Amino acid sequence: MWRRIRSLILKELLMLWKDRKSRFVLVVPPIIQLVLFANAATFEVRDVALGVWNEDRAALSIDLVDRFRDSDTFRVVADYDNPRTVADDIAAQRVKAVLHLGPSFSADIVAGRPARLQLLLDGRRSNTALIMQNYAATIVDRFNQEHAPAVARGAGIDIETRAWFNPNYESRWFILPGLVVLLTIVATLLITALSVARERELGTFDQLLVTPLRPMEILVGKTVPALLVGFVEANVIAAIAVAAYRVPFVGDILLFNAGIVLFVLAAIGIGLVISSIAKTQQQAILGVFLLLSPAIVLSGFATPIANMPQWCQALTYVNPIRYMIELARGVFLQDLTWALAWPMLWPMMAIAVVTLGYATWLFARKLQ
């Protein structure tokens, strides 16, 4: 039995190695996507075009404006003296935000009265506007702590904020561990989804069914090569993220690889089900991307699962990407323990058992 399985595994690996298109899909797209995501996909907002409408011109108002000028987030590109110009520049997207200080701003601070300022934001990009608002609030809070009277700022009470696991709010630290998971499942699903469909098109699938190989042996022979490829690819991408982009890896490498094995097995089971149902490689590719699009949206890669509607949150429980992304980020940044990782490991194990079992049943039907 093991000789038959080994021969099938070698045959699958040789097919992957000799097929130039398969080699290209496994190597080039993941590297390109890693570089693009690492450099282009970011939640940080830098170099925002800011306009200033300062009707005060006193020392305190100038000090506040200078703080905005000196920040890495904002770049003052215009000074205004009337509201019409402000409206025109925001409408034309020449500025993303406008800081407006009224004529009594400095006098109100000196007198201990509430001093008001206005921040006009371009709300057409709502996420960017919220981030700009938070950055501006941080600058204003620091200004207020230095210049407002003690009674006005809470009788000396000072709030100190400290961010755990990502103290510098580096978006790469958040994105790249999740990207390791996404690139791994894309490659694994494509390999397994095309395996049976390719043999159907080449006419070798019927030959495979009449060999002494049993359905379970065929399943193992199709699973092991994809498992090896997915395991190696995940570790290579993780190593690039750590070495090239300085993403910290503070957790247990064994825990990370145990999660990768279970995750890849779950992905292989899904891919084999697609491959068993699809009659052509085009149908298999379509099935993969039809499944991947909602799975990535429901994985928590870009948006928190807790912010989704309840019925969407229920769908995420059958999504292996959800669990592996949570585990990868925990291992990279948090030094996640095995006990804390267990709620992420056993669902992937269950998904792998169900999907691989269903794929075996589909193979057995072909023999009847």
The ranges of the chain with pLDDT < 70 are: 1-9, 11-19, 21-23, 25-26, 40-44, 125-127, 148-163, 202-213, 215, 366-368
Q: How far apart are CA 338 and CA 359, in angstroms?
A: 30
Could you give the angle at which helices 253-277 and 215-245 cross, rounded to 10 degrees? 130
Rg, the chain, Cα only: 28
Q: How far apart are CA 113 and CA 111, in angstroms?
A: 6
The pLDDT value given to residue 219: 76
The pLDDT value given to residue 51: 93
Residue 64 and residue 143 in contact, taking contact as beta carbons nearer than 8 Å: yes
3-state SS, residue 53: strand
Residue 196 and residue 366 in contact, taking contact as beta carbons nearer than 8 Å: no
The pLDDT value given to residue 31: 77
3-state SS, residue 50: strand
**Consecutive H or E run containing 341:** helix 338-367
Q: How far apart are CA 9 and CA 148, in angstroms?
A: 72
The pLDDT value given to residue 326: 93
End-to-end CA distance of the chain: 21
3-state SS, residue 52: strand
Angle value at C-alpha 99, between 94 and 101, nearest 5 degrees: 140
The pLDDT value given to residue 155: 41
The pLDDT value given to residue 157: 41
The pLDDT value given to residue 158: 46
Q: How far apart are CA 276 and CA 218, in angstroms?
A: 12
